[in-house]
Amino acid sequence: IENTSESSPESRRKKPRISEMAEIESRRINEESLKRWKTNRVQQIYASKLVEALRRVRQRSSTSTETDKVVSGAAREIRETADRVLAASARGTTRWSRAILASRVRAKLKKHRKAKKSTGNCKSRKGVTETNRIKLPAVERKLKILGRLVPGCRKVSVPNLLDEATDYIAALEMQVRAMEALAELLTAAAPRTTLTGT
Amino acid sequence: MLEGLVSQESLSLNSMDMSVLERLKWVQQQQQQLQQVVYQSSNNSHELLQILQFHGSNNDDLLQSSFSPFQMLGSGFGPNYNIGFGPPHEAMDECISRTSSCHMEPVDTIEVLLKTGEENRAIALKNKRNPEVKTRGEEKTEKKIKVEAETESSMKGKSNMRNTEASSDTSKETSKKASEIQKLDYIHVRARRGQATDRHSLAERARREKISKKMKYLQDIVPGCNKVTGKAGMLDEIINYVQCLQRQVEFLSMKLAVLNPELELAVEDVSVKQFQAYFTNVVASKQSIMVDVPLFPLDQQGSLDLSAINPNQTTSIEAPSASWETQSQSLYNTSSLGFQY
């Protein structure tokens, strides 16, 4: 199956060309994604960007007081920042990374507009899908759930969804490792203030 | 004489535990020698057919599939049997030598009957037959078979068709072992034996195989996925894993939110290089099998202003990193999530 795409990526035929490009993309994702998120360089890039972003977040929220609410709000911000940095590290090659970067812009716009109206739309849409839904086969239901978990992949075809999930899982693993390392570093470097602060 | 041959073969084939391919090759050998015997006694193809059919009914279906090309060569002994089979000769010879080394007992008795003068023709016949049988074992009624039949001898076309019909009804044992052959000019997918060859089925099968290939990649990356079989179970594991990772990210972000004020204070102690060195150590300790992580080069320039603040911190990297490793491992073991890689 993979012979034509290797021989002529620039073929003049329309239909095979599109499938070839998709195949090249998916194959690249599959073969590379496991290694891509494990290279030293990627980890260093992510680590440095994460530290930088966290500093910026800290500066922005430094004026507010330290309560539990702020901590959870700060946690959300940190998570979103981390996701954004992760998506930026992907360099726009995957769908989920583009969706993360796009959603942040969209969330900012929504905040400035009427927030209540959008939530109302969400609820009505959900109700309609609930009543129309007959019991789908188990595999398809799970694929839908997976599509909801991976950002920006709700209406994606099955093979592409699996590709995106592969890359997303690899990226998440790297993100977890980086954040764990950062957390350990901070607790190790400044034990006095953290343990005796609260 | 021939009946004795048959009974011997049936015994050997049923009692021995060979793989399908080995048995196939062994059977080919038997056919060749049998055929030589027949040729010597100058029987016509009709009698040969009878013998072969008797053979087929005696043993399993595998033999029947390999008998049909044997049929084609039955009387078409002309000079045309060496057409287009030059290259596979060497490979086939090796195969033959490999298979002939085993199960020698029944073969010996047959070889005694043969004249040594027929050696060259036997080898030529072997070389001719093996690629055919191989391809035939892997295909259904495709155009290639018909082309081969025509090049062999037009007379045997009828018997060939008869045998292909008979062989197409047989079981799919050979197809299960054989893989699909692919041509190089377009996306060609060969149909397996006994399966439909219309466009839709082929496209459907290609799509299914693409999906299963991707599931295999996911299976490699998600831990614990190889214990479950079937798409639904694997998808369950994958979903579980993704949710687990996302929860971990949330937890760690909350932890970092608490620690964030410390980042300012810890600037003097922490430099980017130290962080990255620690990161690679953590990576190395956690994923010793999959990741080949080289040691972090100490002279690499970070892109942050943090590195400019403390250039003299590089000398102190070695000492803390060793302690961090042990610390990281102990902390990892006692982490609340107990996340296993």
One digit per residue, the tens of pLDDT, for chain B of length 341 reads 545 544 454 444 444 555 556 666 666 677 677 666 555 555 554 554 454 444 444 444 444 444 444 444 444 444 444 444 444 444 444 444 444 444 444 444 444 444 444 544 544 444 445 444 444 444 444 444 444 444 444 444 444 444 444 444 444 444 444 444 444 456 666 666 767 778 899 999 999 999 999 888 888 888 888 887 888 888 899 999 999 999 999 888 888 877 776 666 555 445 555 555 555 555 544 443 343 333 333 333 333 333 333 444 434 333 444 444 444 444 444 443 434 44
Q: Is B19 helix (H, G, I), strand (E, B) or coil?
A: coil
Indicate the burial class of B7 (C-beta count within 10 angstroms; 0-12, 13-18, 19 or more): exposed
pLDDT at A19: 62
pTM score: 0.48
Check B248 against A176: CB less than 8 A apart.
yes
Residue A46: how many CB atoms within 10 A of its CB?
24
| Residue B4 tokens, joined | 């004795």
Give the nearest partner residue to A149 out of B242, B250, B257, using CB atoms: B242
Give the nearest partner residue to A40 out of B215, B221, B280, using CB atoms: B280
Under 8 Å between Cβ of B264 and B252: no
Q: Which residues of A touch B269 (CB under 8 A)?
A: 189-190
Indicate the burial class of B14 (C-beta count within 10 angstroms; 0-12, 13-18, 19 or more): exposed
pLDDT at A105 > cutoff 60: yes
| Residue A190 tokens, joined | 């400044």
Check A3 against B187: CB less than 8 A apart.
yes
Helix (H) or strand (E) holding A196: helix A191-197
CB-based contact, A89 to chain B, within 8 Å: no
Check A1 against B218: CB less than 8 A apart.
no
Residue with tokens 């994604």: A33
CB-based contact, A30 to chain B, within 8 Å: yes
pLDDT at B293: 35
